[in-house]
A and B are shown apart, each in its own frame.
Chain A
């Protein structure tokens, strides 16, 4: 397989894996919590690395995922005190965790392969070179294998708990009344977000992950009105964005993950402007129509 084809394949898998939990983040309006998670898993990665001393250990992924879930819990605890705004709580927690992680990295890990840039920026161009070997046999790029597994976990969770996710997302009070636990589902979803962020950090970096999660879902949200369709469109958009992004990045000789994020933004903005049901232009036309109708009514009265 050529390098570009392999990079495209990895990009597609990463995008789709990220976009799936994103659907529910967009619908629930908790995308910034996921932004916080993508930053704080860094602390998890660093702490787990101190224990395992191995960047490829599966325990690293588990430890870092746990840190993401812990972040959600701390944010919720702060929000419950009502002493500060919901968004301020997010803005207090993640910079602190992140700072501690950066201090630990600069102090103790000067000469090993865990520098801040790798974690923050990631680089898809290098992904095919980091191979995963199983009993000495090369079974594929590490990022590819990891993200396929995470993609399957995400898809499995959504398929298994589709009803629960749907009802807790759209009507949490009703869900609780019928006997579903919105909190449990919420934490399940956030566990997926953390896991995905940890898996994706070395290919796209922790800053861009949030765009990979939110972008396709938001685009689909603007284009559809039904959850099943929205999930389908989300996956489709994620695939298109990553293929176009990789191509363009190769043509312009630039950061691949960055380019995919740009394409994601542009596609979403196009959907926002031109969506036939919820778009900007549609809304303006609707308003004008209503105004005309109203004016006529007023005229008729006099």
Chain B
């Protein structure tokens, strides 16, 4: 019965499209998210995804249609502007990075709401058709959406391969990179663009609030299993990919389970599992080594005491 249902599902065309799209997105955000997490800028993704809203609104105003490419360009531009403001505020004054993040996040999102409600001609945010933006609409993904994700994804992956050394250098030690003569601004710009593009692609499927989870989760999970970037990166991609597909399966099989949140829950299980059970860094492994060490230490003390008594 269960098996039949599954084969039926896997032969379903819509499911294939959606699963392919979310899986690929998961892979991509896993890879790119690793850099964001390494740079300790993982929450930047959260701010960026919210900041995309005004760009989408303005894009819609200009091209007067819901053509995906136009909206994506608008979203990318406003995401980049938001990044620039956050960096400016946190680097050129005593404003803390996270304060700048929260401020830009909410003002850009507010601006997006203003534009969207203005377009609709009514002051009611609830009807402004923001659902798909806030929560994503993976189940409505079309072949051309998946194609777009695939093309941009390939370009992004190519950039990662070409700039492998530079990205690695600048995520771990940007100052050292600058002393070696690499152009810091150029590399940082490319990295920001790649991160922004990934987030914008993710908006379509999981929505604003959850896209940052897709960016952070896989890399945190993968990080627990290895210390090498060359392993963490593909592993994060794989975890993102599997979460995307498993999440889609659960939301298709289950009754009224939205895809985005379902992906995030699956991903979180990977993260929690990795945090607890990874063989070296894991919480359980650490506990047991701690206990072993304590036992060993006690024994040593006992031995010393015995010797002393003699």
Residues of A bordering B, CB below 8 Å: 26, 29-32, 34-35, 39, 78, 81, 83-85, 87-88, 90-92, 95-96, 98-100, 102-103, 106-107, 110, 115-118, 120-123, 125, 205, 207-215, 218, 221-222, 249, 252-262, 264-266, 268-269, 272, 278-280, 283
Which residue of B is nearest A207, CB measured?
Answer: B109
B37 within 8 A of A: yes
Cβ contacts under 8 Å, B42 to chain A: 85, 87-88, 91
Complex contact A88–B126 (CB within 8 A): no
Residues of B bordering A, CB below 8 Å: 37, 40-43, 45-46, 50, 85, 88-89, 92-96, 98-99, 101-118, 121-126, 128, 130-131, 134-135, 209-210, 212-213, 215-217, 219-220, 223-224, 255-258, 260-262, 264-265, 268, 271, 275, 281-283
Q: A30-B98, A254-B113 are in contact. Are A91 and B45 (CB under 8 A)?
A: yes
Which residue of A is nearest B111, CB measured?
Answer: A262
Q: State how many angstroms separate the Cβ of A219 from the closest Cβ of chain B.
A: 9
Complex contact B126–A210 (CB within 8 A): no
Which residue of A is nearest B282, CB measured?
Answer: A83
Complex contact B106–A265 (CB within 8 A): yes
- Chain A contact residues, majority secondary structure: helix
Q: State how many angstroms separate the Cβ of A39 from the closest Cβ of chain B.
A: 7
Which residue of B is nearest A31, CB measured?
Answer: B102
Cβ 8 A contact of B104, one of A103, A212, A265 = A265
Cβ 8 A contact of A90, one of B43, B85, B112, B130 = B43
Told that A99-B262, A210-B105, A258-B109 touch, could you supply 11 new A-B pairs with CB distance under 8 A? A31-B102, A99-B213, A102-B261, A106-B258, A211-B102, A214-B99, A222-B93, A253-B121, A258-B110, A261-B107, A269-B85
Cβ contacts under 8 Å, A260 to chain B: 110
Which residue of B is nearest A90, CB measured?
Answer: B43
Q: State how many angstroms separate the Cβ of A186 from the closest Cβ of chain B.
A: 15
Complex contact B99–A262 (CB within 8 A): no
Top 5 A-B pairs, shortest CB-CB distance: A265-B107, A211-B106, A261-B110, A258-B113, A95-B213
Complex contact A214–B102 (CB within 8 A): yes
Complex contact B93–A259 (CB within 8 A): no
Complex contact B265–A249 (CB within 8 A): no
Complex contact B102–A107 (CB within 8 A): no
Complex contact B125–A255 (CB within 8 A): yes
Complex contact B109–A253 (CB within 8 A): no
Q: State how many angstroms separate the Cβ of B189 from the closest Cβ of chain A.
A: 21
Cβ contacts under 8 Å, A87 to chain B: 40-43, 98
- Can you name 29 A-B residue pairings with CB atoms under 8 Å? A29-B96, A30-B98, A31-B101, A83-B224, A91-B45, A96-B213, A96-B265, A96-B268, A98-B209, A99-B261, A103-B265, A121-B113, A121-B126, A123-B123, A123-B126, A212-B106, A214-B102, A214-B103, A214-B106, A215-B103, A253-B123, A258-B113, A260-B110, A265-B106, A266-B107, A268-B107, A269-B85, A278-B93, A283-B93
